[in-house]
Amino acid sequence: MPNLKDLKNRIESVKNTRKITKAMQMVAAAKLRRAQEAAEAGRPYAERMNAVMAGLAASASGSETAPRLLTGTGKDDVHLLVVMTAERGLCGGFNSSIAKLARTHAQKLEAAGKTVKILTVGKKGRDQMRRDFGDKMVGHVDLSEVKRIGYSDAHAIAHDVLMRFQAEEFDVATIFYSRFQSVISQTPTAQQIIPAAYEAAETEETGAGTDYDYEPGEEGILADLLPRGVATQIFTALLENGASEQGARMSAMDNATRNAGDMIDKLTIQFNRSRQAVITNELIEIISGAEAL
Amino acid sequence: MADTMQFDLVAPERRLASLQASEVRIPGSEGDLTAMPDHAPLITTLRPGVLTVVGPEGEQKYVVTGGFAEISAEGTSVLAERAVPVAEMTGELMDEMIAEATSAVEEASADMRDALAKTAADFSSLRDVINV
């Protein structure tokens, strides 16, 4: 049986842990609100962009001169996986679930005889992917210095990806991130960005039979917009990821706080019992001593 | 004919304006144009320049960089890569944008260089227009 002092120390240390997890939960809650606002604010742009792109893509995909960002290189041998995770841990299964999705995807591609290249955004993903695909890593984007994700960050990542595409380093690019659904639910998602896969279904609501004039021509606009489309998709993914990370951290820390509370209760009961046992023991000693006289 | 139309100006990070406008002057890549209610449907890319919106509270001016504008009979929406109200535009911000555009020219591949050089030139002339 552990002695009283040990138990007391143990209770103190769990209490301190609980204070920390509680604080982290509150910080995450505040950050989550901001991240959600940012994601909300970014939505109109992304929606408009997707709508216009879908319309353009539908009309241009038939033509032979359509940009390669839209039609692809005609091959599908080399895949670039952009794995976006958080810079920090302690957010439950958030990082692992994205890495896991990317890993299964990569293994499937390799089994099919394709070449896989991995670009990571966020430290945690890099650490996890390096374990299995150390030789496939082609780059890493560090966002640990970034306090607030801005469009320029997404732009820089998109620029990197586009440069690699121009240099014909890969044929297909897919981004992996976590879609924010609610504080307790985030879904790891894979989304193909190059060649651009805009859903045709979206055209119907937006196109609505309007014939737009294009200035400069349709192709010119497409060439201008496709890189922006890539940046926008990455930006949306980063924002969703940001909100998901904070949400995941919040619920993980909430659990941790509750666990610490349970543990403190259990330890306190144990502490009181042993204290009582010590008192009883002392009493027995005194009484039996008195009786012996 | 309606007197006003819905006008939206959105940047990736936020929505800058959403109002009923009677007239929008857009710096299109092929030349400036003015969109008024019942304009023929048009999609144009933007060059760096000043976008002017005439709304119920008078004129508002924004500095926009690349992006595109979608004009239809019902309304106009401008999706700018970056948009800043002219009043908030500072010399440093302008310098930063010009520097960015210039460095993009240097690292661009040959076939892109002309287009980017034009963008950089547009930025420089923009500086004179808004006097910062």
The full set of domains in chain A, from first to last, is 4-21+254-292 (1.10.287.80), 38-249 (3.40.1380.10)
Kindly report the pTM of this predicted structure.
0.85
Residues A225, B82: C-beta atoms closer than 8 Å: no
Joined tokens for residue A128? 């996890």
Sort out which chain A residues have CB atoms less than 8 A from B29's CB and list them: 215-216, 224
Residue type, A153: D
Closest CA to A57 of A196, A193, A171: A196
Q: Which residues contact A11 (CB under 8 A, 6 or more apart)?
A: A264, A267, A268, A271
A221 shares contact with chain B (CB less than 8 Å)? yes
Residue pairs spanning A and B at CB distance below 8 A: 78
Q: Please tell me the distance from the alpha carbon of residue A78 to that of residue A72, in angstroms, as a whole number.
A: 12
In which band, very low, low, confident or very high, does the pLDDT at A205 lie, cut at 50, 70 and 90? very low
- pLDDT, one tens digit per residue, over B87-106 is 887 778 888 888 877 777 77
Residue of B nearest to A209 (CA): B41
Please name the amino acid found at residue A6. D
Active site residue A269: no
Q: What is the ipTM of this complex?
A: 0.80
- Judged by CB atoms closer than 8 Å, whether chains meet at A210 and B77 is answered as no
Write down the catalytic residue from A24, A35, A82, A91: A91
pLDDT value of residue B109: 65
Q: What is the pLDDT of residues A134-187, one digit of tens each?
A: 888 888 888 888 778 888 889 889 988 988 888 888 889 999 999 998 888 899
DSSP B37: T
Residue that wins the pLDDT comparison between A40 and B89: A40
Yes or no, beta carbons of A151 and B30 under 8 Å apart: no
- Reading the block at residue A258, the tokens are 């509750």
- The residue written with tokens 């948009």 in the block is B83
Cβ count within 10 A of residue B25? 17
- Best B18, B45, B84 member to test A by mutation, with max A CBs in 10 Å, is B45
